[in-house]
Amino acid sequence: MDEAYHAHSRFEDRYGVVSKPGGRELNEDSCVLRDYSLRRNPKYLCFMALADGMGGHQAGDVASQVAVEMLEDIVGAKRFSDDVEFQETVEKELWSTFSTVNSHIYDLGQTSPERKGMGTTLTCALIGREHAYVGHVGDSRAYLVSSEGVKQITDDHSVVGKMLSDGVLTEREAQLHEKRNVLNRAIGPEPNVEIDILKVPVHEGEVVFICSDGLYTVVDKKEIGNVLLTEGDLQTACERLVELAIARGTEDNVSAIAWRMPLEETLASSGIGGKATRAMGTREKFPARVVVLITVLALMIGFGIGWGVGSLWNRDNDSQGERKSAEKTAQEKDSRGNDETGADPTAFSKGAIVKIQLQTPGHIYSLREMPDPSSIEKAPLKHGCKLKIVSRSDEDTEGRQWYEVQVLDSGPDKGKKGYARSDCLVKVDNSGG
């Protein structure tokens, strides 16, 4: 499975993801980070996205989650055939995807009075070998951090952000301004939205950092850069920055995600050498006489091996056939055994009792009408909510398995049926844990 939300194993220092309620009861931020850099021949190196929802009755929470999920589903690792297609089409794909997400959330906002006007910021970075491609709407921020300093990549789409970029306000004055939370661009409130698509050069060792306004309104970019550059482990760095914002009394949710560009030798080991190319590299040429000599020797050796193997074939043929038949039977038996014992931790049988498991427990999972993250939400499910498996469904376009489930927990949604992704489900043991 892809690495997401919190890093683990020996590569955990390369990225970090933290999201906390901060000064509010409900966390309406959603964020995700997928590191592809260690895969063999990745299409691109990293997907990272952050959304800060707005709207009452959990509408902001729903908007931010839907935005992040749809974005990843559409422009995730499987969207591009190779790194060449990624470089050629990613900007167009980002713009199209942001437009699709905006239209979908706008339509969701028309389904009930409580969701009217629901919306979210949305900032993401798809990072290739030489450039980060950033899509941006709202006042969350993306930074590029290096030994040369901290560069803010995005503009704040807010009343105060415009005044700041025009030089009317200083950074400190903007942090204290009474209209600092008033957006003039967001995903969802209107049927159409203007989208910023940015192409930013990135080099080895540099850090791409995205945060919500709950962090940067109380922690300035100099402090952000200092923590990210002095703390080798980016997960720890993100935690320090979020805790610093909370300690300073931030009034909003606080989220931070960071990813460090790998060294050249790390990229080379993943199959990414120089610039992206579909063509094979040039090969060293040998003199024709050498080629002929090698060919003759190969034929002579092949003839000798073939004669020896042929003399043994008849004698060993029967015993080999018996061994192959026995091996095939054993493999089939093992395969059946694995299915029965549930070797796949995300495979569940009909009637099994499972529960929702979220990387960020304070978030809400959306039960869907269809096995598709963009389908209508049927019920909001909390971390730990118990469900019963009704049936196994098809995989989605990203290859993720879905199940039809029924809500078991007491409440207004008890008994409801819908679809949930297997990677957000864990089996409940006999003790009910």
d(CA 105, CA 414): 26
Do residues 118 and 159 touch, judged by C-beta distance below 8 A?
no
Alpha helices in 248-396 (DSSP H): 264-269, 288-341
d(CA 30, CA 397): 22
Could you tell me the CATH superfamily of domain 9-269? PPM-type phosphatase domain (3.60.40.10)
Token look-up 């999201």 returns: 19
- Which range, 42-51, 302-311, 367-376, has the best average confidence (pLDDT)? 42-51
Backbone dihedral angles phi then psi of residue 26, each to the nearest 5 degrees: -105, 135
Residue type, 195: I
Judge whether residue 122 has pLDDT over 60. Answer: yes
Q: 71 is written with which tokens?
A: 């974005």
Q: What angle do CA 383, 122, 126 make, to 5 degrees?
A: 100
When pLDDT is cut at 50, 70 and 90, the band that residue 430 belongs to is low
When pLDDT is cut at 50, 70 and 90, the band that residue 204 belongs to is very high
> For 226-271, how does the pLDDT look when each residue is reduced to its tens digit (9 = 90+)?
999 999 899 999 999 999 999 999 989 999 999 999 987 666 555 5
Alpha carbons within 13 angstroms on the beta-carbon side of residue 412 total 3
d(CA 89, CA 94): 9
CATH domain 353-427 topology: SH3 type barrels. (2.30.30)
pLDDT at 266: 63
Nearest to 251 by CA among 222, 228, 218, 276: 218
Nearest to 432 by CA among 319, 369, 355: 355
Residue type, 210: I
Q: 383 is written with which tokens?
A: 């971390």
When pLDDT is cut at 50, 70 and 90, the band that residue 423 belongs to is confident
pLDDT at 386: 93
Nearest to 360 by CA among 13, 23, 29, 120: 29
Nearest to 34 by CA among 19, 13, 48, 17: 48
pLDDT at 119: 95
Instruction: Return the C-alpha torsion angle 343, 344, 345, 349, nearest 10.
Output: -90
| Residue spans per domain, the chain | 9-269, 353-427
Q: What pTM does this model have?
A: 0.62
DSSP letters of 119-173? EE-EEEEEE-SSEEEEEEESS-EEEEEETTEEEE-SPP-BHHHHHHHTTSS-HHH
When pLDDT is cut at 50, 70 and 90, the band that residue 276 belongs to is very low
Nearest to 368 by CA among 379, 359, 357: 379
Percent of the chain residues topping a pLDDT of 90: 50
Do residues 403 and 390 touch, judged by C-beta distance below 8 A?
yes
Residue 22, phi-psi category: left (phi > 0), alpha (psi -120 to 50), beta (remainder) = left
Judge whether residue 50 has pLDDT over 50. Answer: yes
Q: Count the Cβ atoms, other than its own, within 10 Å of residue 255.
A: 30
Question: In whole angstroms, how far apart are CA 81 and each of 75, 77, 132, 273?
Answer: 12, 9, 18, 17
When pLDDT is cut at 50, 70 and 90, the band that residue 4 belongs to is very low
d(CA 125, CA 46): 8
278/91: higher pLDDT: 91
Do residues 75 and 160 touch, judged by C-beta distance below 8 A?
no
Q: 57 is written with which tokens?
A: 């009755």
Percent of the chain residues topping a pLDDT of 70: 73
Judge whether residue 274 has pLDDT over 80. Answer: no
Do residues 348 and 389 touch, judged by C-beta distance below 8 A?
yes
> For 132-182, how does the pLDDT look when each residue is reduced to its tens digit (9 = 90+)?
999 999 999 999 999 999 999 999 998 877 777 777 777 777 766 666 677
Q: 187 is written with which tokens?
A: 């995903």
- Average pLDDT over the chain reads 80
pLDDT at 21: 92
d(CA 127, CA 397): 22
When pLDDT is cut at 50, 70 and 90, the band that residue 78 belongs to is confident
Q: 271 is written with which tokens?
A: 């199959």
> For 335-386, how does the pLDDT look when each residue is reduced to its tens digit (9 = 90+)?
433 433 344 556 899 999 999 887 666 667 788 888 887 677 788 888 889 9
